[in-house]
Structure 1
Amino acid sequence: MSKTDTGALAHKVRRLAHLDIPGAGQVTVAGRYAYIGHIPNKEHLGTTIVDIADPYNPRVVATVTLDDPFSHSHKVRVVGDVMIVNHERNMTKIGRRAEQVPAARAALVAALGREPSASEMAAKLAISQADYREVEATRAKPYENGGFKVYDVSDPTKPKLIAYHKTGGIGVHRFAMDARYAYISTEMDGYIGNILVTYDIADPRRPQEVSRWWMPGQHIAGGETPTWSGKRHRLHHALRFGDEFWASCWHGGFRVVDCADIAKPRTLGAYNYHPPFPEPTHTVMPVPERIGGKRIAITIDEEDQAQSANEENARRGRLHAGIATFDVSDLSAIKPIGLFEVSELDSPFSRVEGARFGAHQYHEAMTGTLVYAVWFSAGLRIIDVADPAAPREVGFFIPDPAAGRSAPQSNDVMLDERGLLYMVDRLVGFDILESSV
């Protein structure tokens, strides 16, 4: 590892600029502007728009705040003059650990032969009784603000709200879009966990639902019964490549879906590698060109529940979230090929107490065989999958923690048409990077 003049550890990557803006969930770049969606924060900041025409001197030119203290909009996409942001209920302070409540209750009922008490549930989940009461109170509260908002950004310095489309449940998590459609991952009444709802946005002021896709077992109002507990199997989000959706399904692995008829999506193939891999599938995408005559796909998992404070000791020796490659030449017989992980020895922040260490997300498009990915506590990693059985790292950038934080928590990255990289941290910070790979 080599130190850059900014104090970061880097190889073939250098920082051009940094802004200490509040923590973010996603960054997208359109033209000369970067659009940043923020993690819940005390300022109720939803979106920041940054002029990046001069990558050495980025300037904040607009912000969008939320008037709903119970919601956040940490995801953002822009196509043309249209910006879409999600609207989702804030998590409890123990985050996704609340998902384990149904399974924990079922296990205790089986063991005790009765409904467990609040103290027994708290002990089973290894959280305090106060935290458990907060989880139950949040689950019991009605929430009617979930959905997505559409803005006119023909002048990015003056974004204008033109539509607020409500969906259901706790709202929209992640999504993708193009000039005609928005591919929304959201909870909906009658379903367990997020499903894919496609909207026609030809008239962005009036989004129109086109179709729904879900995994068998999610449509409980339609008589389906899930084979899993709670919301562990659900759509994280789907990316469209040609006439296919590539859908990451959390602890349900991934699915490839035919969308040639956008009104009637149908599943072509599926693969679930959980278990034995403990961390959920965050994103899946195909490599643009065949390698050795084979069609290859790449998944990235999210370091999630293993990093809960109550599992501080249990996570030692446990496989961290990483990247996996698959042969998807035959979608009826998908085969795993290779793995890529960042070792705990490769970051000075890998064992910082209370901080996650493991993969999270990559740039959701490829040119050639390079993958640009971000790791909690290990920054940007550039990975070459030219040999999908043995992906290799060819560059990296590990920033020093910003604003007095104990470890960097790099959360999202995007590559623009100039070849520059834009990285956000879920706690604080926005970096513009240049790679010489």
Structure 2
Amino acid sequence: MASEQFARKNIDFVAYSDQGDRGDGVQIMVHKGHAYIGHMFSNGVTVLDVSDPKRPRPVNFIATPPNTWSLHLQAAEDLLLVINAVNIYSPNIHIDKTDYYTKSFAETFGGQRADFAAGLRVFNIADPAHPREIGFMPVKGFGLHRIWYVGGRYAYASASLAGYTDHIFIVIDMADPTSPQVVGKWWIPGMWQAGGETPTWSGWRYALHHAIVAGNRAYGSWRDGGLTVLDVSDPTSPQLLAHRNWNPPFGGGTHTSLPLLDRNLVIVADEGVADNCEDGVKHTWVVDVREPTNPVTISTFPNPAEEDYCAKGGHFGPHNLHENRPDSFQSSEVIFATYQNAGIRVYSVKDPFRPEELAYFVPPAPKKMYDPRPQSAQVIQSCDVFVDKQGLLYVTDYNAGLYILEYKG
């Protein structure tokens, strides 16, 4: 593909893959020269050999059980952790995406009757091209959503469990990877319906998207419920240090909270979840956590402005951030973010009170739609980004496959 096809600044095109004609990518991990890509609609995980990043090639596909998605995953050491949950967009289930983003999961799912797998699958990836399943942790409920695992004993996940209104925070003991066990839980009071709790909110979706753990603290993103800081020094008993929610007046959708602890900052991305900005223009926030019991918002990232992205169609605004994982590119000043129909963005927070945009890359519209929802616009929806130690960006999309890029800053 010629670079002239792309709207870009300080980012070069390296390669493209349709992921074996499964262009619907969500979370991506690059590990041992291989990319592991969870899918939104293709019900499985694609494995790409990216040892030569200019020539990515599919080498494997791990299918999920019927009506089950595995859109999020984590790779660390010799383990690949893959979520299993009900695929709400499976044709014989189908939940409207507006309902999915605005109502609790307990409200939108339950009347449907379908078999699906719910839990966590564990694969050995000593041979990175050929993951071998070694364990499965089933849960009662609708399944897991996203995980944080960088090796060691504990993994941290969001899980929709029976008796709760929506996804809560769980801690998983990985001491025996063939038999993971849930050992800790935390939720926003009001979510435990089976325990007699009643939500104090209405018209919003309070649900943990996921938490990133740094040191003994977990920074959780609760969609319309905002940001939490948990003390997880005792993984079996997480304790709340702070809860901040700017929704309302701002539009919610909190998706990713990235701690930069050497600078006492957390970068918080609020996801745009409605077409044509019908849920408002969302922001990426810079939060000061010098006092962990009193997080303070000090600035927001500048929003892409080289064209009218609200009028472009599809979702506009933040989605995910490169999460500074071990064995990847790590920086406390340069932030990589996906902005859906505005592509991939690179920002500097050298001055946390005045974030600056450094670079961007907006791929062309997808040539093929994998999304079965009839109302979905055929526009780019950059979803997730992983940046390797060499500074290469691996960017997924709900329909447009994988772009491998190089930041030139």
TM-score (norm 2): 0.88
1:193 aligns with 2:161: no
1:83 is matched with: 80
Q: Is the 8 A contact 1:174 1:236 kept in 2?
A: yes
- The whole-number CA distance in structure 2 between the counterparts of 1:39 and 1:62 is 17
Matches within 5 A, 1:35-50: 35-41=36-42, 44=43, 46-50=44-48
Q: Residues 102 and 403 from structure 1, CA distance in 2 versus in 1: closer, same or farther, beyond 3 angstroms?
A: closer
Amino acid at match of 1:200: D
2:269 is matched with: 300
**Which of 179, 182, 207 is residue 180 of structure 2 equivalent to?**
207
Matches within 5 A, 1:280-319: 280-290=253-263, 295-304=264-273, 306-307=274-275, 315=278, 319=280
Amino acid at match of 1:362: L
2:352 is matched with: 388
**Which of 272, 282, 294 is residue 321 of structure 1 equivalent to?**
282
Relative to total residues, which structure has the larger helix share, 1 or 2? 1
State the secondary structure of the residue aligned to 2:194.
Answer: helix
1:425 is matched with: 397
Q: Is the 8 A contact 1:200 1:207 kept in 2?
A: yes
1:398 is matched with: 362
Q: Which piece of structure 1 moves more, 331-340 or 79-88?
A: 331-340
Task: Give me the CA root mean square deviation.
Answer: 2.3
- The whole-number CA distance in structure 1 between the counterparts of 2:57 and 2:2 is 23
Offset at residue 428 of structure 1 (A) = 2.6
Offset at residue 28 of structure 1 (A) = 0.7
Question: Deviations for 1:179-224, whole angstroms, at most 9, x for unmatched residues?
Answer: 2222121111222211111111122111022211111111222232
- The whole-number CA distance in structure 2 between the counterparts of 1:364 and 1:228 is 30
2:373 is matched with: none
Q: Residues 101 and 395 from structure 1, CA distance in 2 versus in 1: closer, same or farther, beyond 3 angstroms?
A: closer
How many pairs were matched up?
386
TM-score (norm 1): 0.83
Question: Deviations for 1:167-187, whole angstroms, at most 9, x for unmatched residues?
Answer: 132211111113222212111
The percent identity for this pair of structures is: 31
Offset at residue 81 of structure 1 (A) = 1.2
Amino acid at match of 1:54: D
2:154 is matched with: 181
- The whole-number CA distance in structure 1 between the counterparts of 2:309 and 2:266 is 30
Question: Deviations for 1:387-413, whole angstroms, at most 9, x for unmatched residues?
Answer: 222211001111112325632110000
2:298 is matched with: 337
Q: Residues 71 and 436 from structure 1, CA distance in 2 versus in 1: closer, same or farther, beyond 3 angstroms?
A: same
Q: Is the 8 A contact 1:244 1:259 kept in 2?
A: yes
- The whole-number CA distance in structure 2 between the counterparts of 1:168 and 1:95 is 24
**Which of 223, 226, 245 is residue 253 of structure 1 equivalent to?**
226
Offset at residue 424 of structure 1 (A) = 0.5
- The whole-number CA distance in structure 2 between the counterparts of 1:350 and 1:159 is 41
**Which of 136, 142, 145 is residue 164 of structure 1 equivalent to?**
136
1:97 is matched with: 99
Q: Is the 8 A contact 2:136 2:179 kept in 1?
A: no
1:27 is matched with: 28
**Which of 345, 359, 362 is residue 321 of structure 2 equivalent to?**
362
Offset at residue 229 of structure 1 (A) = 2.9
Amino acid at match of 1:7: Q
- The whole-number CA distance in structure 2 between the counterparts of 1:284 and 1:98 is 21
Q: Is the 8 A contact 1:193 1:231 kept in 2?
A: no
Q: Is the 8 A contact 2:172 2:181 kept in 1?
A: yes
Amino acid at match of 2:267: I
Matches within 5 A, 1:3-22: 5-21=3-19, 22=23
Q: Is the 8 A contact 2:11 2:360 kept in 1?
A: yes
Matches within 5 A, 1:256-275: 256-275=229-248
Offset at residue 279 of structure 1 (A) = 3.5
Q: Residues 95 and 168 from structure 1, CA distance in 2 versus in 1: closer, same or farther, beyond 3 angstroms?
A: farther
Q: Residues 404 and 157 from structure 1, CA distance in 2 versus in 1: closer, same or farther, beyond 3 angstroms?
A: closer
Could you say which structure has the larger radius of gyration? Answer: 1
1:378 is matched with: 342
Question: Deviations for 1:284-336, whole angstroms, at most 9, x for unmatched residues?
Answer: 1222422xxxx2211001111x32xxxx5x82xx6322201112212332221
- The whole-number CA distance in structure 2 between the counterparts of 1:55 and 1:190 is 45
1:225 is matched with: 198
- The whole-number CA distance in structure 2 between the counterparts of 1:40 and 1:163 is 24
**Which of 104, 119, 140 is residue 147 of structure 1 equivalent to?**
119
2:311 is matched with: 351
Q: Is the 8 A contact 1:152 1:159 kept in 2?
A: yes
Q: Is the 8 A contact 2:104 2:165 kept in 1?
A: no
1:408 aligns with 2:380: yes
- The whole-number CA distance in structure 1 between the counterparts of 2:350 and 2:53 is 30
Q: Residues 98 and 78 from structure 1, CA distance in 2 versus in 1: closer, same or farther, beyond 3 angstroms?
A: closer
Offset at residue 7 of structure 1 (A) = 0.9
2:327 is matched with: none
Q: Is the 8 A contact 1:175 1:183 kept in 2?
A: yes
Give structure 1 stretches of 5+ with no counterpart.
106-134
Q: Is the 8 A contact 2:65 2:116 kept in 1?
A: no
Offset at residue 283 of structure 1 (A) = 0.9
Question: Deviations for 1:12-50, whole angstroms, at most 9, x for unmatched residues?
Answer: 111110012321111011121111001113xx4x11111
Q: Which piece of structure 1 moves more, 402-411 or 211-220?
A: 402-411
Give structure 2 stretches of 5+ with no counterpart.
89-93, 325-329, 370-377
